[in-house]
């Protein structure tokens, strides 16, 4: 919506004044500026020291504009905003340049140049990461994959899709639908995340229970190393034990060992029969029993087993106006995928009858209608969005044994001050993966100290993981030792030094400060 002032300018101004007008108008009426203030600069809020990298100069911009074209090199501060701030609006960098290559060759030329000039680079996909790993900390150049959107079905294997890193997950899935295929992963960010980013972070999601993670489904990939070398590990073989399986280095290394440019992913046939059930469970003990019965009764057709607590659901109702049709202290959200609806219905009926008979649930919804299933999943998928609306989210993603799984949420609730708006737990029950979240209106360092390192120490004592699927990024780099021993981290650092001697790829991420 233009303010009257802006409208007047536009009426009088010409094309050459467009920039000036845009700047004026944004200062007056930016949606974002009014609703949610920009976060503090990361370099200010956290004590980080800028690495020994070169600073961007005009001649570098000239080179990039010559290599790509002037439309694919962004330098206007207004355009750079969205690349500098993460989705959670908790970290903010000061990048002065965003590059948008279209091909692997262009990525290679960019990296070769940056390595020579010692310019730091942050690879960025859909910028939906939750640990501040996808945005600059200082003035690193952002290398965006958003124009690398081509994909095709492999000639060698009709179930394999070869995609450039910038393909949006949901778009890829919709296109594969026509071939009766589906991508093996599904997460709330699917409308924005890029497959290259998914692979670089070994993204998990709600279907890991059934379709396993990307280490299993990525058959091969192509990446560009820090010095511009193109690592061509693109393969469509289902089995290949010829040599070190180097693709696994790049899967999950969060853009610190190479820029993933293309991936070959094994897709599954789209299931003919899908059922979703939302169950009202009175307590965590019953929830665990429901999961056991589900494994026994649904077995191989179970494709997702999620849980939510009443606090997360209340947050969704408060901030998004969506709520489940049944009330409960805890909810289980289960999904089945199969090829025969009669067979699946029998299994689901058996499961439901047993959990009802054993008094494990107080109520439930069961449906196979796509429109209804979408609505049930919406509550679970939009929880992160609902939490974000409350102000600042302290977001944690841990792997814990069931004995300590929900207990930690109750323990934390007692530890936290009254200024906290929501303290809740939800996540991938079937993978022992808890998403623990706390919100306050604005960032409050005292709340942070009540959570960290207590939560990480708790996780370490249980031999869990401080980051089940979100990765380390910027936010968790100094807590790596809670899940990995020093020798392990040392070997990580050695690998980094070998593949990126100048340390220009996504610096300040993954490795702890003193080791990098």
User: Smallest distance, Å, CB 68 to other proteins?
Assistant: 20
Q: 75 vs 367, which CB is nearer to other proteins?
A: 367
Alpha helices in 208-340 (DSSP H): 208-211, 214-217, 247-250, 284-297, 310-320
Q: What distance in Å separates the CA atoms of residue 464 and residue 191, rounded to the nearest whole number?
A: 30
Give the pair of three-digit tokens for residue 446.
């005292």
Q: 227 vs 378, which CB is nearer to other proteins?
A: 378
User: Smallest distance, Å, CB 348 to other proteins?
Assistant: 10
Q: What distance in Å separates the CA atoms of residue 73 and residue 335, rounded to the nearest whole number?
A: 44
Write down how long the chain is: 516
Residue 87: name the closest of 122, 128, 123 by CA: 128
Q: What crossing angle do the helices spanning 18-29 and 77-84 adopt, rounded to 10°? A: 50
Distance from chain centroid for Cα 430: 19
User: Smallest distance, Å, CB 148 to other proteins?
Assistant: 21
* Residue 102 DSSP one-character state: -
Q: 340 vs 494, which CB is nearer to other proteins?
A: 340
User: Smallest distance, Å, CB 279 to other proteins?
Assistant: 8
Q: 178 vs 485, which CB is nearer to other proteins?
A: 178
Q: 279 vs 447, which CB is nearer to other proteins?
A: 279
> 299: buried, middle or exposed (CB in 10 Å: 19+, 13-18, 0-12)?
exposed
Instruction: Considering only the C-alpha atoms of the chain, give the largest distance between any 2 of them, rounded to a whole number of Å.
Output: 74
Q: 297 vs 428, which CB is nearer to other proteins?
A: 297
User: Smallest distance, Å, CB 373 to other proteins?
Assistant: 8
321: alpha, beta or left? (left if phi > 0; alpha if psi -120 to 50): left
Q: 15 vs 487, which CB is nearer to other proteins?
A: 15
> 124: buried, middle or exposed (CB in 10 Å: 19+, 13-18, 0-12)?
buried
User: Smallest distance, Å, CB 24 to other proteins?
Assistant: 23
Matching residue, tokens 């997950």: 169
Do the bridges between strand 151-153 and strand 160-164 make them parallel or antiparallel, or are there none, so unpaired? antiparallel
Residue 209, SS3? Answer: helix
User: Smallest distance, Å, CB 325 to other proteins?
Assistant: 4
Q: What distance in Å separates the CA atoms of residue 119 and residue 193, rounded to the nearest whole number?
A: 26
**Cis amide linkage into residue 453, ω under 30° from 0:** yes
User: Smallest distance, Å, CB 328 to other proteins?
Assistant: 12
Q: 154 vs 276, which CB is nearer to other proteins?
A: 276
Q: What distance in Å separates the CA atoms of residue 485 and residue 476, rounded to the nearest whole number?
A: 15
Q: How many CB atoms lie within 10 A of CB 166?
A: 24
User: Smallest distance, Å, CB 128 to other proteins?
Assistant: 23
Q: 15 vs 403, which CB is nearer to other proteins?
A: 15
Q: 114 vs 279, which CB is nearer to other proteins?
A: 279
Q: How many CB atoms lie within 10 A of CB 145?
A: 26
What does 139-160 look like in DSSP terms, one character per residue?
SPEEEE-TT---EEE-SS-TTE
Side-chain-facing half-sphere of 230: CA atoms under 13 Å: 13
Residue 111, SS3? Answer: helix
User: Smallest distance, Å, CB 206 to other proteins?
Assistant: 18
User: Smallest distance, Å, CB 477 to other proteins?
Assistant: 41
| Residue ranges in contact with other proteins by CB under 8 A | 15, 177, 272, 277, 279, 325-326, 352-353, 356, 361, 363-374
Q: 183 vs 277, which CB is nearer to other proteins?
A: 277
């Amino acid at each position: 919506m233009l303010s009257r002032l802006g409208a007047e300018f536009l009426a009088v101004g010409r094309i050459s004044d467009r920039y000036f007008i845009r700047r004026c108008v944004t200062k007056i009426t930016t949606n974002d500026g009014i609703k949610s203030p920009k976060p503090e600069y990361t370099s200010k809020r956290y004590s980080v020291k800028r690495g020994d990298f070169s600073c961007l100069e005009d001649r570098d911009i000239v080179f990039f504009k010559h290599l790509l074209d002037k439309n694919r090199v962004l330098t206007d501060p207004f355009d750079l905003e969205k690349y500098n701030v993460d989705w959670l609006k908790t970290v903010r960098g000061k990048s002065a340049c965003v590059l948008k290559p279209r091909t692997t060759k262009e990525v290679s030329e960019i990296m070769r140049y940056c390595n020579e000039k010692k310019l730091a680079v942050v690879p960025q996909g859909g910028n939906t990461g939750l640990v501040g790993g996808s945005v600059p900390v200082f003035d690193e150049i952002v290398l965006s994959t958003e124009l690398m959107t081509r994909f095709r079905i492999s000639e060698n294997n009709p179930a394999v899709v070869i995609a450039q890193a910038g393909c949006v997950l949901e778009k890829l899935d919709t296109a594969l639908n026509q071939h009766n295929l589906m991508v093996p992963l599904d997460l709330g960010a699917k409308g924005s995340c890029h497959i290259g980013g998914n692979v670089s972070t070994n993204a998990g999601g709600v279907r890991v229970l059934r379709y396993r993670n990307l280490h299993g489904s990525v058959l091969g990939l192509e990446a560009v190393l820090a010095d511009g070398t193109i690592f061509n590990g693109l393969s469509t073989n289902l089995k290949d034990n010829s040599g070190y399986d180097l693709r696994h280095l790049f899967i999950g290394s969060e853009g610190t060992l190479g820029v993933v440019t293309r991936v070959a992913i094994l897709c599954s046939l789209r299931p003919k029969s899908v059922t979703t059930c939302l169950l009202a469970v009175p307590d965590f003990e019953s929830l665990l029993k429901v999961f056991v019965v589900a494994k026994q009764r649904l077995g191989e057709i179970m494709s997702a087993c999620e849980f939510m607590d009443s606090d997360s659901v209340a947050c969704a109702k408060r901030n998004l106006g969506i709520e489940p049709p049944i009330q409960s202290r805890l909810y289980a959200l289960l999904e089945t995928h199969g090829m025969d609806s009669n067979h699946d219905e029998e299994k689901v009926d058996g499961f439901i009858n047993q959990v009802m008979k054993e008094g494990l649930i107080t109520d439930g919804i069961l449906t196979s209608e796509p429109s209804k299933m979408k609505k049930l999943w919406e509550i679970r998928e939009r929880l992160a969005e609902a939490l974000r609306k409350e102000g600042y989210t302290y977001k944690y993603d841990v792997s814990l044994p069931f004995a300590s799984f929900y207990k930690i949420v109750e323990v934390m609730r007692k530890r936290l001050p009254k200024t906290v708006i929501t303290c809740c737990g939800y996540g991938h029950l079937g993978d022992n993966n808890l998403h623990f979240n706390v919100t306050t209106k604005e960032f409050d360092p005292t709340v942070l100290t009540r959570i960290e390192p207590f939560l990480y120490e708790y996780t370490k004592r249980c031999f869990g993981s401080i980051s089940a699927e979100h990765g380390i990024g910027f936010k968790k780099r100094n807590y790596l030792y809670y899940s990995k021993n020093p020798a392990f981290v040392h070997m990580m650092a050695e690998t980094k030094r070998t593949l990126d001697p100048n340390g220009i790829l996504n610096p300040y991420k993954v490795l702890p400060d003193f080791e990098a």
